[in-house]
Amino acid sequence: MKIFVVFTVVLMLFVSSWVGRASADEKSLGQIKIVASFYPMYIMARNVAEGVPGVMVENLTPPVTGCLHDYAITTSDMRKLAEADVLVVNGAGMESFLEQVMAQYPKVKVVRLSDGISLLKDAHGDNPHVWVSVARARLEVERLGAFMQEADPRHAALYQKNTEAYAARLKALEQKMTEGLLPYKGKEIITFHEAFVYFADEFGFKVAAVIEREPGSAPSAREIADTVDLIKKSGIKMIFNEPQYSSIAAETIARETGAVIDTLDPAVTGDDAPDAYIKTMERNLEVLKNAFSR
């Protein structure tokens, strides 16, 4: 009986040791965990890493988080980062927690997808909502693809194939939206978030006013009054709210002015599907076409 117990313990130790070595070997053969800072970065990473052996993509923040302007890292987030090999971020000031993460997890490779892209500026500095421009989103995808080819050279050909395929779909989307919005070039709209400045810049219309620079922070009575005055003086009748945030202020302004509220989605929340960004932008196209043709 004692011999059997000793044999069993030795066998368990051997199996444990073998499994540990196997796990290490698998890791060295290309097992990579990619963590994306928030939803639009996650969708890009999903497409670039689609079908790559041993590569897992995870969203750091819950998919309902929206933009990360004032997001605070949670204990759950820290656990994900502790296991990450690559952290995909938008950059340009979007991830306020980035310096903290880099200091605490120096071995995690960080790729800022907005690096090298021309940023729009306002009175507050760089506007970080790069991905809301389809053309700039394509540049972010291409940057991520190039980064992953260097980070995981064994699968470089597959990353390149995925990147080119998704970039081609985004290029086709850009062309479709450019053609669809061409008749409305020069139109003015009012939005509740600064994200759509990139969108307007790309497709040739103008954001006449942004009511809430920081999403979720209710505009003051003065800001609402100023927007009401602008609408009455300019004749702009289009207010675009976002599905992630309350429409109470928009409804107040609409009652005062007779303006019509529509919804544009900056693609910061959505389905866990590789084509989610494209479908969101296609819906935005139809919303704008309907709004402009009233």
Alpha carbon distance 256, 233 (integer Å): 13
Q: Do 49 and 161 fall within a single domain?
A: yes
Q: Which amino acid is at 16?
A: S
> Token pair of 222, please?
């003065």
- On whether residue 15 sits in a domain, the answer given is no
Q: Considering its fold, how many domains does the chain have in total?
A: 2
Predicted TM-score of the model (pTM): 0.87
CATH assignment at residue 254: 3.40.50.1980
Of 102, 222, 86, the C-alpha closest to 152 is 86
Where a domain ends, among 126, 142, 177?
A: 177
Q: Order of strands, edge to edge, in the sheet holding 260-263?
A: 206-210, 188-191, 238-241, 260-263
Of 132, 285, 114, the C-alpha closest to 196 is 132
Q: What is the DSSP letter of 113?
A: T
- On whether residue 5 sits in a domain, the answer given is no
Q: 109-112 and 125-126: which strand pairing?
A: unpaired
- On whether residue 4 sits in a domain, the answer given is no
Query: For 187-225, how does the pLDDT look when each residue is reduced to its tens digit (9 = 90+)?
Result: 999 998 888 999 999 999 899 988 865 555 677 888 889
Alpha carbon distance 255, 158 (integer Å): 54
DSSP string, 44-109: HHHHHTTT-TTEEEEESS-TT----TT----HHHHHHHHT-SEEEE--TT--TTHHHHHHH-TTSE
Domain containing 126 equals 30-177
Alpha carbon distance 288, 184 (integer Å): 9
- On whether residue 52 sits in a domain, the answer given is yes
- On whether residue 241 sits in a domain, the answer given is yes
Q: Do 253 and 264 fall within a single domain?
A: yes
- On whether residue 242 sits in a domain, the answer given is yes
Q: How confident is the prediction along the chain (294 residues), in pLDDT tens digits per residue?
A: 444 443 443 333 343 344 344 333 444 445 899 999 999 999 999 999 999 999 999 999 988 888 887 788 999 999 999 999 999 999 999 999 999 999 999 999 999 999 999 999 987 789 999 999 999 999 999 999 999 999 999 999 999 999 999 999 999 999 999 999 999 999 999 998 888 999 999 999 899 988 865 555 677 888 889 889 999 999 898 899 888 877 788 889 999 999 999 999 999 999 999 999 999 999 999 999 999 988
SS (H, E, C) 176-221: HHHHHHHHHCCCEEEECCCCHHHHHHHHCCEEEEECCCCCCCCCCH
- On whether residue 247 sits in a domain, the answer given is yes
> Token pair of 189, please?
């709209």
Alpha carbon distance 264, 204 (integer Å): 16
Alpha carbon distance 294, 280 (integer Å): 22
Q: Do 158 and 45 fall within a single domain?
A: yes
Where a domain ends, among 118, 148, 177?
A: 177
Q: Do 141 and 201 fall within a single domain?
A: no
Q: Are 127 and 121 in contact (CB under 8 A)?
A: yes
Say how many C-beta atoms besides its own lie within 10 A of residue 98's C-beta: 19
Q: Do 142 and 62 fall within a single domain?
A: yes
Where a domain ends, among 145, 177, 209?
A: 177
Q: Do 115 and 249 fall within a single domain?
A: no
Q: Do 235 and 210 fall within a single domain?
A: yes
- On whether residue 18 sits in a domain, the answer given is no
Q: Do 115 and 143 fall within a single domain?
A: yes
How far are the Cα atoms of 70, 104, 239, 283 from residue 259, in angstroms, in the given order? 31, 49, 7, 21
Of 214, 178, 205, 195, the C-alpha closest to 131 is 195
Q: Do 214 and 150 fall within a single domain?
A: no
> Token pair of 117, please?
């892209």
Q: Do 116 and 251 fall within a single domain?
A: no
Q: Do 184 and 76 fall within a single domain?
A: no
Q: Do 201 and 263 fall within a single domain?
A: yes
Alpha carbon distance 181, 51 (integer Å): 35
